[in-house]
Amino acid sequence: MQLLDGKLLSEQIKTELAAEVEQIKAQGGKIPHLAAIIVGENAASQVYVASKIRSCEQVGFKSSLIRCEADITQEDLMDVVQKLNHDPDVDGFIVQLPLPKHIDEEAVTLGILPRKDVDGFHPVNFGRMAQGLPAFLPATPMGILEILRRYKIETSGKHCVVVGRSNIVGTPISILLSRKGYPGDCTVTLTHSRTKDLPGEVRRADIVVAAIGIPEFVKGDWVKEGAVVIDVGINRIPDESKKSGFRIAGDVDFESVAPHCSYITPVPGGVGLMTVAALMLNTLKACKGEIYGA
């Protein structure tokens, strides 16, 4: 069993990005600039956004953090989005989810210019991805592709079982892995809460992507010998022995699953860090106009 080391890979990617930023600087080009909007005080969101901003600093990107009060109106939030849409220095931006209940998340996502949508959540980017056109890929699925690519894991003709059908992970990764090319050309089964005999489906997989949001859901006896297991879950479990009062668990029961795997991502230190790295890669693409032209 080998760990798929998201920490190592994300550091590699950041080193590559930092080198590219140096080159851009030397040539007097535009420095990539990522902006993030955060609404309210959700603890997990604070952690994620802080990690994105820190990554920008590490690679030499410009970053902006726009903090909005939890009781901001839809209209005022849309104004913030519009301001970033029109700011020529901002190459890409994200609105950290989840948003407070009174905000229409869909309207916010639709308000972001597709050319600045580095999270890849806008339907234009989602549709282009699904149709195999150049697009900003959603960051988590893109991070998974980077893991497979950088560990040179064979995907063509492999059976991939995706557990969970969310718009941000399960559905897009199932589409991406079934496309032509590498990483891709998998036979993909998308499973979810309505699937009959989920363990039986997972047992058929050469590659398992667990993204159902239930801690330690996938068990050891669900996993075929030699399978590759990608754990997307980031769940907080109350744990009094920790100073924070919680520990982080994935969607995979690592202890029982790992012995059966050829490769497995740890949590933390796996997909989560790659999501941030993918966001950085998208920001560079946005700055260079790689998807929608300069």
Residues with catalytic annotation? 52, 96, 119
CA atoms of 118 and 94, how far apart (whole Å): 7
- Asked whether 251 and 235 are in contact (CB, 8 A), the reply is yes
Query: Which lies closer to a copy of itself via its Cβ, residue 163 or residue 277?
Result: 163
Which of 1, 47, 70, 133 lies at the binding interface for a copy of itself (CB under 8 A)? 133
The least distance separating a copy of itself from the CB of residue 183, rounded to whole angstroms, comes to 12
The three-state secondary structure class of 266 is: coil
Nearest Cα neighbor of 172 from 150, 156, 188, 152 is 188
Q: H-helix or E-strand containing 261?
A: strand 261-264
Binders of a copy of itself among residues 93 to 112 (CB under 8 A) are 106
Which of 1, 107, 167, 289 lies at the binding interface for a copy of itself (CB under 8 A)? 167
CA atoms of 35 and 53, how far apart (whole Å): 9
- Asked whether 201 and 191 are in contact (CB, 8 A), the reply is yes
Angle (nearest 5°) at CA 274 between 270 and 278? 170
Binders of a copy of itself among residues 30 to 49 (CB under 8 A) are none
The two beta strands, 235-238 and 246-249, are: antiparallel
Residue 199 near a copy of itself by CB under 8 A:
no
CB hemisphere CA count around 196 (13 angstroms): 0
The least distance separating a copy of itself from the CB of residue 159, rounded to whole angstroms, comes to 8
Residue 131 near a copy of itself by CB under 8 A:
yes
The least distance separating a copy of itself from the CB of residue 28, rounded to whole angstroms, comes to 33
Residue 132 near a copy of itself by CB under 8 A:
yes
- Asked whether 208 and 163 are in contact (CB, 8 A), the reply is yes
Residue 282 near a copy of itself by CB under 8 A:
no
- Asked whether 231 and 254 are in contact (CB, 8 A), the reply is yes
Which of 157, 240, 244, 293 lies at the binding interface for a copy of itself (CB under 8 A)? 157
Say which residue the tokens 């820190």 belong to: 54
Query: Which lies closer to a copy of itself via its Cβ, residue 125 or residue 265?
Result: 125
Tell how far CA 217 is from the center of its chain.
20
The least distance separating a copy of itself from the CB of residue 231, rounded to whole angstroms, comes to 21
Which of 56, 90, 137, 190 lies at the binding interface for a copy of itself (CB under 8 A)? 190
Stretch that binds a copy of itself, among 21-29, 48-56, 126-134, 272-280 (CB under 8 A): 126-134
Give the binding site for a copy of itself (CB under 8 A).
106, 122-133, 135, 156-157, 159, 165, 167, 171-172, 174-175, 178-180, 185-192, 194-196, 201
